[in-house]
């Protein structure tokens, strides 16, 4: 515990290190910070998706804005996600991210060994990090060191560990901790989003944005995909409104807008244009400079972060009342993506279509979401319970005569040797004791047998 407190205390100073790394060109424990930054930038630049770069950089403990500037060079990045309040929101484990943990120990990340990585993973576990969180963080770290190994910076990948021994094996996936939202609960979220309490003069804008966010998440979008969308990604193709989404691995896919989502988005963009006093058409593509602005934005037009979306969804879930009161603390953006898959499969949608909708690289991932294969209707638990109850009802319905007959039968079978009529002693009088049958011996109430030899009862002796 003392070691944990020491590391946490050192990690809390990492926020100061953000400024040091960016401004003064230093890095705790690193003699050549500029070289390390270039190596990190080289690794991140391999990913075309800015959201992926930010996610990986954040997972390692780097500031989001620093990641954008790092990859873009000296070019200023104006569309980096930021909260509406201007305050950066970080996860509770951010201070234990890998680079911050190394900085707290004054260790150059390039000098890390497998033992260091395992110690870090155990610390994350002790700090309450879920198994999936540790899996993702280890995967990110392994990708980083894999790149350093390929480029000859380090001799081997210290994060290439035996995951089965660490309890992080991905081959046998645990049941998903994500709650299963129903269609009625999604409807309650949409209804509550338009009724969020707000006393400012922008209440109509905020309500429209909340409804648009919930409606877009019900299309199966990842939160990173949602916040990464620009207005230019909203297009009409083949007469159908759709979003051109940049997903994992830099793969683009087309997501068709439902009438519900299209109307919510059009209403939000119209209200936003009125507030910002622009004339940007709501459902158009590359018409003017505003087309490159974020699709979902803060009031002043900045890009929302995934933390903003998560916080908004929490407020909506609370506003939804009884419909979500049992799961309000478990509602997050991924739960709506999860709901899209499960509801689609329950409605007999082709699994290949669902896979394309949500951008799963492997259909096995989509099948994992298919909880229709494991519902109460497909469980044998109720059948077993029914059999138990039927047996009880049958026993209770027996007539008194049947009970009496059963009792007489049991009485006859369970009669003890002591209750049997006495035998004539003269029957074996001419036989020596050693030749009497074992059956005669066991009928003596002074004896009990265990199937092999007789034993005296308590308080009696064997002659």
> Each residue of 225-277: pLDDT tens digit?
999 999 999 999 888 999 999 888 788 999 999 999 999 999 999 999 998 87
Instruction: Find the mean pLDDT for residues 131-139.
Output: 89
Report yes or no on whether pTM surpasses 0.75.
no
Q: How far apart are CA 216 and CA 66, in angstroms?
A: 29
Q: State residue 73's pLDDT score.
A: 54
φ/ψ region of 348 (left if φ > 0, alpha if ψ in -120 to 50, else beta) reads left
Within a 10 A sphere around the Cβ of 205, how many other Cβ atoms? 18
Q: How far apart are CA 336 and CA 182, in angstroms?
A: 10
How many percent of the chain have pLDDT more than 70?
A: 69
Q: How far apart are CA 30 and CA 34, in angstroms?
A: 9
| pLDDT, tens digit (0-9, with 9 covering 90-100), for 317-374 | 999 999 999 999 999 999 999 999 989 988 888 888 998 998 888 887 777 776 545 5
454 CB-side CA count, 13 A: 17
Provide the CA 319 distance to its chain's centre, in angstroms. Answer: 24
Mean pLDDT of the residues in the chain? 76
How many percent of the chain have pLDDT more than 90?
A: 40
Residue 82 neighbours by CB under 8 Å, 6+ apart = 88, 298, 302, 303, 305
| pLDDT, tens digit (0-9, with 9 covering 90-100), for 373-413 | 556 666 677 788 788 888 888 888 775 555 555 545 444 44
- Answer whether residue 164 shows pLDDT above 50: yes
- Answer whether residue 309 shows pLDDT above 90: yes
Specify burial of residue 223 (Cβ count, 10 A radius: 0-12, 13-18, 19+).
Answer: buried
Instruction: Find the mean pLDDT for residues 84-96.
Output: 59
Q: State residue 331's pLDDT score.
A: 94
- Answer whether residue 305 shows pLDDT above 80: yes
Q: State residue 119's pLDDT score.
A: 94
Identify the residue with better confidence: 105 or 405.
105
Specify burial of residue 19 (Cβ count, 10 A radius: 0-12, 13-18, 19+).
Answer: exposed
Residue 432 neighbours by CB under 8 Å, 6+ apart = none
Identify the residue with better confidence: 409 or 121.
121
Place of tokens 């409804």: 211
Q: How far apart are CA 224 and CA 49, in angstroms?
A: 10
- Judged by DSSP in three states, 127 sits in coil
Backbone angles phi and psi of 386, in degrees to 5 = -60, -40
Q: State residue 427's pLDDT score.
A: 43
- Answer whether residue 445 shows pLDDT above 50: no
Instruction: Find the mean pLDDT for residues 434-445.
Output: 39
Place of tokens 């990090």: 129
- Answer whether residue 2 shows pLDDT above 90: no
Q: How far apart are CA 86 and CA 83, in angstroms?
A: 5
Q: How far apart are CA 454 and CA 441, in angstroms?
A: 9
Q: State residue 266's pLDDT score.
A: 95
Binning pLDDT at 50, 70 and 90, where does residue 204 land? Answer: very high
φ/ψ region of 18 (left if φ > 0, alpha if ψ in -120 to 50, else beta) reads alpha
Q: State residue 149's pLDDT score.
A: 95
Q: Are 158 and 117 in contact (CB under 8 A)?
A: yes
Instruction: Find the mean pLDDT for residues 4-29.
Output: 49
Q: Are 210 and 193 in contact (CB under 8 A)?
A: yes
Q: State residue 86's pLDDT score.
A: 41
Binning pLDDT at 50, 70 and 90, where does residue 308 land? Answer: very high
- Answer whether residue 220 shows pLDDT above 50: yes
Q: State residue 345's pLDDT score.
A: 87
């Amino acid at each position: 515990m003392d070691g944990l407190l020491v590391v946490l205390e050192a990690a809390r100073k990492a926020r100061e290190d953000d400024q040091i790394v960016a401004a003064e060109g230093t890095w705790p424990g690193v003699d050549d910070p500029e070289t390390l930054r270039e190596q990190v930038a080289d690794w991140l630049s391999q990913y075309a998706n800015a959201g992926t770069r930010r996610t990986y950089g954040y997972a390692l403990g780097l500031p989001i804005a620093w990641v954008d500037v790092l990859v873009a060079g000296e070019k200023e990045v104006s569309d980096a996600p930021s909260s509406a309040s201007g305050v950066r929101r970080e996860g509770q484990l951010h201070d234990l991210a890998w680079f911050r943990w190394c900085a707290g120990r004054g260790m150059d990340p390039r000098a890390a060994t497998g033992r260091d990585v395992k110690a870090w993973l155990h610390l994350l576990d002790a700090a309450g990090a879920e198994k999936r969180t540790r899996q993702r963080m280890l995967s990110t770290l392994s990708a980083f060191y894999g790149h350093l190994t390929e480029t000859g910076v380090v001799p081997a990948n210290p994060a290439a560990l035996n995951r089965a021994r660490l309890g992080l094996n991905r081959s046998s996936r645990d049941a998903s901790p994500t709650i299963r939202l129903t269609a009625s609960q999604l409807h309650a979220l949409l209804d509550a989003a338009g009724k969020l309490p707000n006393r400012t003069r922008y209440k109509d804008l905020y309500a429209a944005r909340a409804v648009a966010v919930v409606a877009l998440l019900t299309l199966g979008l990842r939160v990173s995909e949602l916040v990464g969308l620009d207005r230019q990604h909203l297009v009409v193709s083949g007469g159908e409104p759709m979003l051109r989404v940049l997903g994992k691995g830099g793969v683009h896919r087309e997501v068709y807008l439902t009438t519900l989502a299209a109307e919510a988005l059009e209403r939000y963009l119209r209200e936003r244009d009125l507030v910002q006093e622009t004339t940007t058409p709501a459902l158009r593509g590359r018409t003017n400079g505003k087309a490159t602005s974020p699709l979902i934005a803060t009031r002043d037009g900045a890009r929302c972060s995934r933390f903003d979306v998560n916080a908004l969804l929490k407020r909506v879930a609370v506003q939804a009342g009884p419909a979500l009161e049992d799961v309000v603390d478990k509602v997050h953006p991924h739960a709506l993506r999860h709901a899209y898959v499960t509801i689609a499969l329950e409605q007999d949608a082709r699994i290949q279509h669902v896979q394309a909708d949500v951008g799963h690289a492997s259909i096995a991932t989509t099948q994992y979401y298919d909880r229709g294969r494991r519902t109460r209707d497909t469980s044998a638990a109720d059948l077993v319970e029914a059999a138990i109850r039927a047996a009880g009802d049958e026993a209770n319905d027996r007539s008194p005569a049947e009970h009496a007959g059963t009792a007489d039968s049991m009485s006859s079978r369970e009669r003890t040797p002591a209750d049997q009529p006495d035998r004539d002693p003269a029957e074996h009088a001419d036989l020596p004791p050693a030749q009497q049958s074992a059956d005669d011996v066991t009928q003596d109430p002074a004896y009990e047998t265990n199937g092999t030899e007789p034993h005296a009862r308590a308080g009696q002796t064997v002659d």
